Amino acid sequence: MEYMDVEFPCGPIALPGNQKLRGWFIPSTSYKNGLQPETKKDLCVVICHGGGRDRRQHLRHVPVLMKYGASVLLFDKQEHGISDGNKRGIGWFSYEGSDMISACKHAKWELNFRKIVAMGTSFGAAGALTAAGHFDASSSDNNRAIDGVIAENPPYGRFRFVRDCMHMHVKVLPAFIRDVLAIFVYVALTLRRGSLILPDPSETIQNIAPRPLLITHGMKDTIVPFEHGIELYEQALDPKDCLWVPDALHTQIFDHDPDGWEQKVCALLDSVIEQ
């Protein structure tokens, strides 16, 4: 596939020393003469990877999106890949959302796309939800950077994520000890990343409407429990859709049900274009 190296500024939340995010812009086959859109599918899907990964995590999704007629922007979050950072780890739902809103603004107003869909997995899914439901929520319809959201196995919230992981993976300890440990881990991560200034995805997911939302989750996820996806979906407002895959582990929706994933994603893209 033809692609372009791109870079753009970090969003409103950046760790000290971080200024630039870097990625690949992959134009759809409907593009000619540089970056001028020539079809009604004037659409770019902006994709944010999960923690500890980089832009390559979603290369397997690109052919399906290209077949649909969408262009794709894959980028590395801060502290990942070749974007700015010093290997300081996850942003704890803080810079993920900030990076995503910056990438979507770049696609909409620098690459000149009419419609933008924010897509992410795991902590990248939290970033997509936060970008649309928090950073982009107060914008008017004409000034919004995000027109639809696809969130794969998104965490419900910070403390809920820590507590559930503790109960899933530290079963040798009594339940009340696990709860106490979860509190300490949550506080340590939150203070380290300053995430108290941002709401959880569960607190802002209703702000995404009336933009289309798709939540997908593996029912055997041992990193972000399946219940997180269900409860986020129940709290979201219409228009919304979901895809629950019985045998899928964390970030494996496409690997287990590529046809189901394509059908649901293309339906969301159709609804975004028709808005």
pLDDT, tens digit, for every residue of 110-124? 999 999 999 999 999
Give the predicted TM-score (pTM) of the model: 0.92
Q: Spell out the domains of the chain, with CATH numbers in brackets.
A: 4-162+200-274 (3.40.50.1820)
The residues near 91 (Cβ < 8 Å, ≥ 6 apart) are: 13, 15, 77, 78, 79, 98, 99, 123, 193, 195
pLDDT band at 41 (very low <50, low <70, confident <90, very high): low
- Which alpha helices (DSSP H) does the chain contain, by range? 62-68, 95-105, 123-130, 158-169, 175-193, 201-204, 226-235, 253-256, 258-274
pLDDT band at 32 (very low <50, low <70, confident <90, very high): very low
pLDDT, tens digit, for every residue of 226-266? 999 999 999 999 999 999 999 999 999 999 999 999 999 99
Pick from 243, 242, 252, 248: nearest CA to 220: 248
- Which alpha helices (DSSP H) does 157-257 contain, by range? 158-169, 175-193, 201-204, 226-235, 253-256
The residues near 264 (Cβ < 8 Å, ≥ 6 apart) are: 214, 216, 241, 243
Q: Identify the residue whose tokens are 């106490």.
A: 180
Q: What is Dmax (Cα atoms) for the chain?
A: 64
